[in-house]
Every structure is written in C-alpha cells, then in structure tokens.
Amino acid sequence: ETGVTQTPRHLVMGMTNKKSLKCEQHLGHNAMYWYKQSAKKPLELMFVYNFKEQTENNSVPSRFSPECPNSSHLFLHLHTLQPEDSALYLCASSQEASNTEAFFGQGTRLTVV
Amino acid sequence: KQEVTQIPAALSVPEGENLVLNCSFTDSAIYNLQWFRQDPGKGLTSLLLIQSSQREQTSGRLNASLDKSSGRSTLYIAASQPGDSATYLCAVSSLSSSGSARQLTFGSGTQLTVLP
C-alpha cells in the first residue's frame, strides 16, 4: 500500500464511450501526476497538478481531460479514445519542492475496443 | 530534453548472485534519482531515492550509487532471491521542458529474473 489509490483497476471501453479514472492520495502531498505506460515504452508524463493547478500538459490529446478538485483527488476523463490509447495509466503524488519520493498507485489497465 | 537509458534491458541470474543494474541520463541538472520496482501489471514501488548531492543510498540488500557529473547511477542487489524478479525502473527528477514543474523521466527498465 503506497498511499495512492486508483480506481478502477481495469477498464474496457468502446471508442464512443466516456469514462473517468480516479486517483486519491492520503499522503498530504501537494502535487499529483498522470503517467501513461504503453507496452515496450518508458513511462510518459501526461499532466502535473500542483496545489490543484495544472502546471504541465505534455502535449496530450484533448480526448484526455484531467480534473483536480483538491490536492487529494485527481481524475482523468476519457472520451472518443482510440485503440492505441490502450495502456496502463498511473497516478503519482509527491511533495513539490521538497525533493522527496514520488509514490505511485497500482494503475488502471485501460483497453479500448 | 532529459533522456534516461537503462542497461541491460533484461537479465537472468541464478539465486544468490550479486548483480548490478545500470542507468544513465543526459542532463546532469537533476534534483534527485529514484529507483522503482514494478511487478507485472502492477504499479511502481519506490526502492531508493538519492538526492543530487548524495553519492549513494542503501536499503537492506540494495545499494544505489549516483555520479551526477557523468550522468550515471547503478543499483546493486546483493544475494539475489527469486522474489527479486521484477522490472526495475530508474527515474530522474528535473525541471520540465516548460520550466513550470518538476517531473520524473523514466528509463525503459531492466527486467530481472532470478532463477531458483
């Protein structure tokens, strides 16, 4: 248990569906992140939120829409995805500017059919 | 743009061996370096964090070193066990290309198999 919880663990969705991934951290951190892990590729940073404000969007397509209502919760809203978006989506949190560890959730395995 | 490389991509050793995993990065302007373990289909478990001002960190059978000037880190695993089988990821923390946030840049990992 890392203190970062992601739901659901697995998700299968059609290309016309709308779904959301949820991440919650119980560590009192002020920064939260979404990463994408595709087969045979390094983890790719998608978004960074610091004190609920988005501070980084790594050229992510608009079919991925993040939301951070408070420092403990992070969502990733999905719509009209493509099969190549199938991947493991990982959420992480850290204490920005304190140079301490980042902690990751267990991930959501997304399959787009 | 920061790039992280891990060698080897895969490694298979008999139980009890000591082994070294390598990580290199292109931009030495880092805040810290973190080693993670990932089991199949799971998230990442943090193993060790080395600050940019440190040379090494130890936790149990694990020892990580950092040579920031040459852009290298190694993870040493002593007396390997079958339970150590996993993918080991190296990540460096540095300022994003936009300059607005810290980010972790990951290598592709080393897939370790320890044979009983």
Residue B97 confidence (pLDDT) above 80? no
For residue A100, list chain B residues with Cβ-Cβ distance below 8 A: 49
Q: Say if the Cβ atoms of B103 and A56 lie within 8 Å.
A: yes
d(C-alpha A56, C-alpha A47), whole Å:
5
Query: Mind listing the pLDDT tens digit for each residue in A8-20?
Result: 999 999 999 999 9
Q: What is the mean pLDDT of residues A31-43?
A: 92
| Closest by Cα among A39, A84, A38, A43 to A61 | A84
B96 interaction partners in chain A (CB closer than 8 Å)? 45, 48, 56, 58
CB < 8 Å to B107, chain A: 42
Name the band, by pLDDT with cuts 50, 70 and 90, for residue A104.
Answer: very high
Phi, psi of B61 (to 5 degrees): -85, 5
Q: Distance from A113 to chain B by nearest Cα, in Å?
A: 19
Q: Are the beta carbons of B93 and A48 separated by less than 8 Å?
A: no
Q: Work out the mean pLDDT of chain B and round it to a whole number.
A: 94
CA distance A41 to chain B (A): 6
Give the chain A residue whose CA is nearest to the CA of B39: A106
Q: How confident is the model at residue A52 (pLDDT cuts 50, 70, 90)?
A: confident
CA-based Rg of chain B, rounded to a whole angstrom? Answer: 14
pLDDT of residue A54: 87
- Out of B45, B103, B107, closest to residue A45 by CB: B103
Looking at residue B96, what is its pLDDT? Answer: 81
Contact partners, residue B53, CB within 8 Å, separation at least 6: none
B104: number of CA atoms within 13 Å, CB side?
34
Residue identified by tokens 């897939």 is: B111
Give the whole-angstrom CA distance, residue A35 versus residue A42. 10
Q: What is the pLDDT of residue A96?
A: 76
Say if residue B98's pLDDT is above 80.
Answer: no
The encoded tokens of residue A97 equal 């500017």
Segment A53-76 shows an average pLDDT of 93
Of residues A3, A6, A51, the one with CA closest to residue A30: A51
Average pLDDT over residues A54-79: 93
Region A42-65: mean pLDDT is 91
Asked if B105 lies within 8 A of A45 by C-beta distance, the reply is yes
Nearest CA in chain B to A96: B102
A70, A72, A33: which is closest to A49 by C-alpha?
A33
Residue A68: predicted pLDDT: 95
Whether A98 shows a pLDDT value over 80: the answer reads no
Measure B88 CA to nearest chain A CA, in Å. Answer: 12
pLDDT at A86: 96
